[in-house]
Amino acid sequence: MLELVIVRHGESVRNHASDLAHHGDTSLLEYQLRFERDEASWDLTQRGIDQAHVSGTWIRENIGDAYDRQVVSPFKRTRQTAACLQLPSLDWKIDERLRERDWGNYAAPGLPVYRVEQYLQDLAICSGVTWKRDFPNAESVSDMLPRCQSFIDDLFTAQPEGRAILVTHGGTMKSLQLVLERLDLTHADRLAERRLTNCSVLHYQLYDVGASDMAWSGRVRFASPVLPDAPVSDWQPLAGSVIPTS
C-alpha cells in the first residue's frame, strides 16, 4: 500500500489581501495586483505559519511523522508551509509539476487594468475545472492534468509502497484528485464537497500502485485541521475501487 498525503499551503499574502477585499478594504489587493504579480514569491502570513503548525500537528497525530518521499511545489508559500509542518528530518524535493496553475499575464500590453472587482468575481468561479481568464498563458485546472498525470506516474514508479507527502496548491490539488480518482471532467462535481481551505489535507490509501494498467484501488479522506472542530470526512472509496479487507 502507498499512503499519500497532500497538503495545501497556509494563508499567503494574496489570500490575506483577498480576504480583506471581501470585507471592504481593497487597498492591499489593489497594490498587489499592480505591483506584486510574481505569484511564486508570495510569502505566508503569520496566520499561514500558524496554520501550517496546526496542520502538521494533525498529520503527526493522525497519520504519522515518517515519510519515504517528500515533494513540494517550487513556490515560496509551499516551501514555507512544508518547513512549518515541523515533520522531523524530511528532505523536501522541489518538483515544478506541483506549482499552482498560471493565472495568466493580466498586465500584458493592450489589456485593460485588472481591477479588484473583477479579480474577486474570478475567485468566486475559478474552482470550475475548465475555467480560465483570456489572459496570455492562463491555465485551467483541466490544463494541468497532463503534468499532474506525469507527476503521479513518476511517483508511483519510484514509490509504489510506503508513505509520501506533497505540499502544493488548491488548483493543483483538484487536478491531482481528478488523476488519482480517475474522474473525467464531467464528474468533477464529485469533488465539490471538499473545500480546499488553507492547510487542508487529502489522505489517500492506495493499493496495486505498481500496476501498469492504472488499475490502482483505494480510499480517501479529507481533513481541515485549521477550521473550528477540525472536521474530518469519512473514508470514501475511489471511483471503481474495491478496498482490500486485509
Q: Is residue 126 part of a domain?
A: no
pLDDT score of 26 more than 60: yes
d(CA 221, CA 237): 9
Q: Is residue 195 part of a domain?
A: yes
Q: Point out which residues pair with 232 in neighbouring strands.
A: 223
Q: Is residue 93 part of a domain?
A: yes
d(CA 45, CA 172): 21
pLDDT tens digit string along 36-81? Answer: 999 999 999 999 999 999 999 999 999 999 999 999 999 999 999 9
pLDDT tens digit string along 213-239? Answer: 668 999 999 999 999 998 999 999 997
pLDDT score of 244 more than 70: no
CATH number of the domain within which 92 lies? 3.40.50.1240
Predicted pLDDT at 171: 96
Predicted pLDDT at 240: 57
Predicted pLDDT at 246: 47
Boundaries of domain holding 182: 2-12+46-104+141-237
Q: Which residues contact 193 (CB under 8 A, 6 or more apart)?
A: 233
Please check whether residue 170 is in contact with residue 8, taking contact to mean a CB–CB distance below 8 angstroms: yes
Q: Is 29 exposed, middle or buried (0-12, 13-18, 19+ CB in 10 A)?
A: buried
pLDDT tens digit string along 109-123? Answer: 999 999 999 999 999
- Rounded to 5 degrees, φ, ψ at 120 are -65, -40
pLDDT tens digit string along 125-172? Answer: 998 999 999 999 999 999 999 999 999 999 999 999 999 999 999 999
The total number of structural domains in the chain stands at 1
Q: Is residue 79 part of a domain?
A: yes
Spell 124-142 as b/e; 16+ CB within 10 A means b.
eebbebeebbebeebbbbb
Predicted pLDDT at 213: 64
pLDDT tens digit string along 158-217? Answer: 999 999 999 999 999 999 999 999 998 988 888 878 889 999 999 999 999 975 666 899
Q: Report pTM.
A: 0.95
What is the three-class DSSP state of 164?
A: strand
Q: Point out which residues pair with 2 in neighbouring strands.
A: 162, 206
